[in-house]
Amino acid sequence: MSCWLLLKRNGESPDTSLAAFFHSGDRAPPRKLTGKIIPQPCLADNLGRDLEAEDNSSTILRFLAFRNGLGSKPLIEMKGHEDEGIRLECTSAGWYPEPRAVWRDPYGKVMPALEESYTTDRAGLYMVTMAVIIRDCSVRNMTCSINNTLLGQEIQSMIFIPESFVPSISPWMVTLAVILPIVIFLVSGSICLIKKLHREKEILSAEKEVEYEEREITQQLQEELGWRRTLLHAADVVLDPDTAHPELFLSEDRRSVRRGPFRQSVPDNPERFDCRPCVLGKERFSSGRQYWEVEVENVMVWAVGVCRDSVERKGEALLYPQNGFWTLEMFGNQYRALSSPEKILPLKERLCRVAIFLDYEAGDVSFYNMRDRSHIYSCPRSVFSGPLRPVFRLGSDDSPLFICPAFTGAQGVTVPEGGLILHKAGTYHHTQKQFLGLRPM
């Protein structure tokens, strides 16, 4: 058993001084104190005694005894599972001075403590408590080492962790560990596939768009070519006064007609319309393609188209295909194809100039808006027999109807390289026209 002399001076750290302590009434020789503790024989009369310094200072000397200067053997406890591991706690008391405590794994490597505390009791001795969490299931034993740095001595304890106490890996974790990489691989592959398909779709869409644009351009070129070919067949239509209804007044050049407020005194020849306010063109078409334009701006009620030369002129004959008429009509701010039944045409804008196309062999009669060259309506295909003639009907007396002249050359109709230049609406001013009453021819 060794004894140690604890030196305190008014609660301060001891300085170098001379101190005398007594044993069995004899005065001991003075010793030089150079630290907090000095080794002395462990005598019963000295233990726990306060000794007096020779210099009559307030220094207090106290003997403390403990076994070999070391604390108790470390006690290691398994506290249970915590934070996905096993919590171990190591406790040891009776140390002086403050010791150094560490955890070591089976390979002697120091493992950092999760918690570490040092407390002192009334006798000034230290108790150390430290904890660690073992998450590595391969670590089966741990060592708690406590070292007295003053004496250079160490006490350690080791604990063996039973296999049953090691957290086992649940089957679903194993399954997850196997399945998760597969799922990640499949998801990644699916994403790549989706991106690839999306890119291919974009490329295909772009190709289709280009194809559509090319087809549209081709169609436009074909339509333009068709226009140019059609214009080659422009007909120079004039009106036939012998067919005009008595209320219709023709211009001197027979290209304009308007409805008057009264009936004229004209011969009632078989060719003349007597009930319907109609007039025919003088030209007769028995083959080929023909084209002419009519200005209908400001005319509230009108009808234009073609008819058989043999149509009934007397009585209230309806302008239907079964009666030999293929016409387009405006009546009451509404455009209609005169067929059976009549077909209403929902046009976006008011017509100013209408083009009539006739393809005799194809049995086609079509109407176009010459402002934007848009298609208005095509009559159902028919098989024509006998000559056809342009037909015009005026149901109102507000404004005249004009037939645009065609340009003719040495070999018929010619078309400049840039296309046929057509008269715009308003070229013919009815205020400058002289409308004559019809006279017997």
SS3 284: coil
The more confident residue out of 129 and 7 is 129
Read off the pTM. 0.47
pLDDT of residue 221: 67
CB 102 within 8 A of CB 109: no
Q: What is the mean pLDDT of the chain?
A: 77
Which residue type does 411 have?
A: Q
Q: Which CATH superfamily is domain 75-165 in?
A: Immunoglobulins (2.60.40.10)
54: confidence class by pLDDT, cuts 50, 70, 90: very low
Separation CA 365–CA 339 (nearest Å): 13
pLDDT of residue 220: 72
Domain 241-436 has CATH 3.40.50.720: no
CB 231 within 8 A of CB 419: yes
% the chain with pLDDT above 90: 38
pLDDT of residue 194: 92
CB 395 within 8 A of CB 334: no
Residue 352 region, left (φ>0) first, then alpha (ψ -120 to 50), else beta? alpha
Q: What is the pLDDT of residues 133-171, one digit of tens each?
A: 888 877 888 999 999 888 888 898 998 888 666 655 566
The more confident residue out of 384 and 35 is 384
3-state SS of 29-82 is CCEEECCCEEEEECCCCCECCEEEECCCCCEEEEEEEEHHHCCCCCEEEEEEEE
Which residue type does 45 have?
A: D
Separation CA 428–CA 354 (nearest Å): 15
Q: Which of 205-214, 404-413, 432-441 ranks highest by mean pLDDT?
A: 205-214
Within 8 A by CB and 6+ apart from 258, the residues are 248, 249, 394, 397, 399, 400, 401, 430, 435
223: confidence class by pLDDT, cuts 50, 70, 90: low
User: Among 22-26, 160-164, 167-171, 403-407, where is mean pLDDT lowest?
Assistant: 22-26
Within 8 A by CB and 6+ apart from 164, the residues are none
List Cα–Cα distances, 402 to 282, 296, 428, in angstroms. 15, 7, 7
Which residue ranges make up each domain of the chain? 2-68, 75-165, 169-231, 241-436
Provide mean pLDDT across the span 13-37.
40
Does position 437 have pLDDT exceeding 90, yes or no? no
Separation CA 59–CA 5 (nearest Å): 12
Q: Name the helix (H) or strand (E) containing 214.
A: helix 171-231
56: confidence class by pLDDT, cuts 50, 70, 90: very low
Does position 8 have pLDDT exceeding 50, yes or no? no
Provide mean pLDDT across the span 118-125.
88
Separation CA 9–CA 416 (nearest Å): 128
Does position 218 have pLDDT exceeding 90, yes or no? no
Q: Name the helix (H) or strand (E) containing 195.
A: helix 171-231
The more confident residue out of 81 and 272 is 272
The closest alpha carbon to 132, from 91, 73, 71, belongs to 91
pLDDT of residue 419: 36
Separation CA 264–CA 245 (nearest Å): 9
Long-range contacts of 181-184, Cβ-Cβ distance < 8 Å, separation of 24 or more: none
DSSP secondary structure of 141-191: EEEEEEEETTTTEEEEEEEE--GGGSPPPPHHHHHHHHHHHHHHHHHHHHH
User: Among 2-16, 88-102, 133-147, 348-362, where is mean pLDDT lowest?
Assistant: 2-16
Within 8 A by CB and 6+ apart from 99, the residues are 71, 92, 126, 128, 146, 147, 148, 149
**CB 165: neighbour CB atoms within 10 A?**
13
Provide mean pLDDT across the span 235-250.
94
Separation CA 400–CA 91 (nearest Å): 120
Which residue type does 360 have?
A: Y
